Structure 1
Amino acid sequence: MDGVTYWFRHTAEPRAVPRGRRFASNALRDWGLEHMSESVTLIASELLTNAVEATGTTKAGLSRAERETLPLVAVRLRVCGRTLAVEVWDTSRTLPRMRTPDADAENGRGLPIVTLLCERWDSYRHPSGGKVVYAVLPLARPTAAIAREEADGTGGVAERDPRAARALSSTNSPRMPADSPGRKR
């Protein structure tokens, strides 16, 4: 099943998070993996929130000119063998670390949530800059949509339809391995 991929990129701002959730939900629906939607969209949301906070702005209501100055964040959903990887890239080289938040803290729960929902997660500094944080979930079985896309080489709808998500070209897409060991639950 290798090679079935959906890409999404957005400026590093708060509205990237709900748009990233929608992107993940649509990709899963296209693949016939709706049963994974709750976990995958929550993982994408938590990792995107961390990426935006690390590299962008938490200010809402930005003007177009302000948005054009922000760095990008990217999400890739990828089927690799019998796993689904949720991979998030941002421009910060600082790797995330697991924290134990205070009971009344407003943040710091993202990675503990991701840890509970996935088989493993990890991060690394990308050779061309920034970092990648990824989570891997097991696939119970291949779906007909994934098998069809793999057989005909069309990839995900996001790659074919620019309205679904702006696909990153192969020249600027980060290498994000879903098959590395990662941190286990």
Structure 2
Amino acid sequence: MGVVIAGIWWKLPASSTAAALARRYARQQLGEWGLDGKADDVLLVVSELVANAARASTADLSDPAHLALRLSRQATRITIEVWDGSPGRPLVTHARNDAENGRGLHIVDVLSLTWGTRWPAEGGKIVWSEVRLD
């Protein structure tokens, strides 16, 4: 299975800037791990999961909505976890050929060894993906 080298949650605003901020963080983390050459698939999965989480989150004016990202490195894979406050199950949609949206979870499915959703006791949900390094 391997040893987790890192696993710190990074808080993000649930906004249209979340995916770009998450990609920047992930790129920096992959660079620190010496995995610059493996970044494309990880960055794409991060983008899709964070964008979905930002859309799923609901804003509360007294406590702005947020989400969180965690990357963990094992010997042969990167685990990407994205938390948001919505308990709703992510939906895989079937986008038309000319649609601009609706392919995110299909992309995650293709690039991942496995992926899924879990519901922590603290609330919300975590959508996770494992991306192969080799």
Using structure 1 for the length normalisation, give the TM-score: 0.66
Q: Tell me which residue corresponds to 2:71.
A: 77
CA 1:67 to 1:33, structure 2 compared with 1: closer, same or farther past 3 Å? farther
**2:94 paired residue number:** 100
Alignment of 1:1-185 (within 5 A): 1-56=3-58, 69-140=63-134
Amino acid at match of 1:29: G
Say whether the 8 Å CA contact 1:95–1:125 is kept in structure 2: no
Q: Please give the per-residue CA displacement for 1:69-93, whole angstroms capped at 9, x wherever unaligned.
A: 4211000000235321011000000
Q: CA deviation at 1:12?
A: 0.5
**By how many angstroms is 1:95 displaced?**
1.1
Q: Which has the larger radius of gyration?
A: 1
Amino acid at match of 1:84: I
Aligned residues: CA RMSD: 1.9
Q: Which residue of 2 aligns with 1:144?
A: none
What is the one-letter code of the residue matched to 1:26?
Q
TM-score, scaled relative to structure 2: 0.89
Provide the secondary structure at the position in 1 that maps to 2:9: strand
Q: 1:53-74: CA deviations, max 9, x gaps? A: 01147xxxxxxxx987421100
Is there any run of 5+ residues in structure 2 with no aligned partner, and where?
none
How many residues end up aligned between the 2 structures?
Answer: 132
Q: Name the CA distance, whole Å, in 2 between partners of 1:118 and 1:110.
A: 12
Aligned-pair identity (%)? 33
